[in-house]
A and B are shown apart, each in its own frame.
Chain A
């Protein structure tokens, strides 16, 4: 299921941003996030990307990294710099890895838009609003804790 969702979202974004994936044609990239149960192959072929969990494929390059490093990468951080800091492990054709990173950096991730494909616009918008609230707070957990504490001490203020 995860590969299907990832594949749909990724191809939707590539199409929406009219990103040319021909430089990666015929390449397979094994990609795993070490702190999450995500390990997939990106097969770039026929002008699209297939996402598969088939472990028997011979990939051109293996990329292993943590989720926070992945986020930095798609936000534009330099691959070479992350490699130098040992935050990302690459085995195989580094040029292919760089091409994939270049491609991902071209995509402007619109979380709400991607989510709406599966949940519909209203749910996606609500989830997006909640996510933005969390993001806008410097310390969301502390803020929630404070609010709960205040409520327990002086519940009338919340009426």
Chain B
């Protein structure tokens, strides 16, 4: 069983995971933003706002947003870097990237480049970006260490890595509610709104399989980052890890 990985609670062949994740996002792309608002009661906007506020990105910076999907972060980064900077919105999934491009064009956000790429093999030179972000994407990546290593490589010295991802809450009561909500309510909402129960079952399972805060922090440090700290948001349901390439 050397060449297996998890896809939610299932063990699957490593080479199959990427395709299975692609099917999930092909299926949910056009309802992705709506589902985020419904499932998180709008809290994802606050989590992303906090991420941007923490980024320390300024005018003239180069920013790469990996698994950027529908472009929420890229839009906010574009405002920060201004005309002299550059934002690259990337996603491995063409349907999601298409939604992102549509959103940014509709909102009149100029100057964002769109690149379809895998976080495990980032097609940019070493030391290119001031900031690299990945929001709610890392848990879907097959080889997370490889992805963090690639993000480290393309960051400039002094660059900032931001990983916003579901994590583990240590509040017992919240955990009980969250478990019930994730496995009973979320898939049903997925069925009603996006006509896709399975993808939202996968979402709940993939969150439980994702490394907890301390484990992910150690992974970031192991990749070479000089420092990493995390901030728990909404009681640890989500955590923002921030690494600096010192």
Residues of chain B within 8 A of A35, CB atoms compared: none
A54 & B156 in contact (Cβ 8 Å cutoff):
no
Chain B, range 174-188, C-beta contacts under 8 Å to A: none
Say yes or no: A4 contacts B58, CB within 8 Å: no
* CA gap between A54 and B229 in the complex, in Å: 6
Interchain CB contact under 8 A, A50 and B53: no
- A45-B158, A50-B160 as given contacts; A4 in contact with B229, CB under 8 Å: no
Name the A residues within 8 Å of B156 (CB-CB).
Answer: 46
**Interface membership of B228, Cβ < 8 A:** yes
Question: Is the beta-carbon distance between A54 and B53 smaller than 8 angstroms?
Answer: no
Distance of A26 Cα from B226 Cα, bound (Å): 11
Known: A45-B158, A45-B246. A4 touches B50 (CB 8 A): yes
* Contact-residue size bin, chain B (C-beta under 8 Å from the other chain): 10 to 19
Nearest A-chain residue to B130, judged by Cβ: A46
Q: Is B236 an interface residue (CB 8 A)?
A: no
Expressed in whole angstroms, the minimum distance between the Cβ of A39 and any Cβ of chain B is 13
Select the stretch in A7-15, A63-71, A72-80, A127-135 that faces chain B: A7-15
B158 touches A7 (CB 8 A): no
Specify which of B58, B158, B228 is in contact with A54 (CB 8 Å cutoff): B228
Task: State how many angstroms separate the Cβ of A123 from the closest Cβ of chain B.
Answer: 17
Whether B121 sits at the interface, judged by CB under 8 Å, is no
A43-B246, A45-B244, A46-B156 in contact; A54/B130 too (CB < 8 A)?
no
CB-CB under 8 A from B160, the residues of chain A are 50
Shortest Cβ gap from A132 to chain B (Å)? 28
CB-CB contacts below 8 Å: B128-145 with A: 130
Cβ contacts under 8 Å, B98 to chain A: none
* B54 engages A4 (CB within 8 Å): yes
Contacts of B227 in A (CB 8 A): 41, 43, 52, 54, 56-57
Q: Is the pair B53, A46 in contact by a Cβ cutoff of 8 Å? A: no
A-B contact pairs, 19 of them (CB 8 A): A7-B56, A25-B158, A28-B246, A41-B227, A43-B246, A45-B246, A46-B130, A46-B157, A46-B159, A48-B56, A48-B158, A50-B56, A50-B160, A52-B244, A53-B229, A54-B228, A56-B227, A57-B226, A57-B227
